[in-house]
Amino acid sequence: MEATELSQKVAQLALQKKGEDIMIFDLRQLTDVADFFVLITGGSDLHVKAIADFIEDELEKQGIRLYHKEGYENLRWVLLDYVDVVVHIFRPETRDFYNLERLWADATITRVEDDVTTD
């Protein structure tokens, strides 16, 4: 699956688990770290875990394997690394503190909401 399609798939999976404030950052012109970041907010530790587990399980069913996972022990910020697409699932206060939106403000950012995507 191409990185663009994978980032959109991740966003749709997050929506299915009621992820909030979902944004896709296109980093291809800015860095070699990854092609896309997908930022998602979960309202509680259990919500963050549910979103992360669902994304990982559903992508694995499609043969897409997770390269690396971080933050699963504390559930304040879970990172799922699919190499070209890195998924960040935050608690609201952690997302506000690290403010990746500001750090990567030069990226093309797409908001994803209930089957409607806006630039």
Phi-psi domain of 75 (left: phi exceeds 0; alpha: psi -120 through 50; beta: other):
left
- Strand pairing partners for 116? 113
CATH for the stretch 3-111: 3.30.460.10
Rounded to whole angstroms, how far apart are CA atoms 113 and 53? 20
Give yes or no for a contact between 50 and 59, defined as CB atoms under 8 angstroms apart.
no
Beta strands in the chain, from DSSP E residues, in sequence order: 20-26, 36-41, 68-70, 77-81, 85-90, 108-113, 116-118
Both ends of the chain: CA-CA distance in Å?
A: 22
Rounded to whole angstroms, how far apart are CA atoms 72 and 53? 10
- Token pair, residue 41, equals 């907010």
For the stretch 17-62, pLDDT in tens is 999 999 999 999 999 999 999 999 999 999 999 999 999 999 999 9
For the stretch 73-85, pLDDT in tens is 999 999 999 999 9
Would you place residue 1 in the very low, low, confident or very high pLDDT band (cuts 50, 70, 90)?
A: confident
pTM for the whole thing?
Answer: 0.92
pLDDT of residue 119: 53
Residue spans of the domains in the chain: they are 3-111
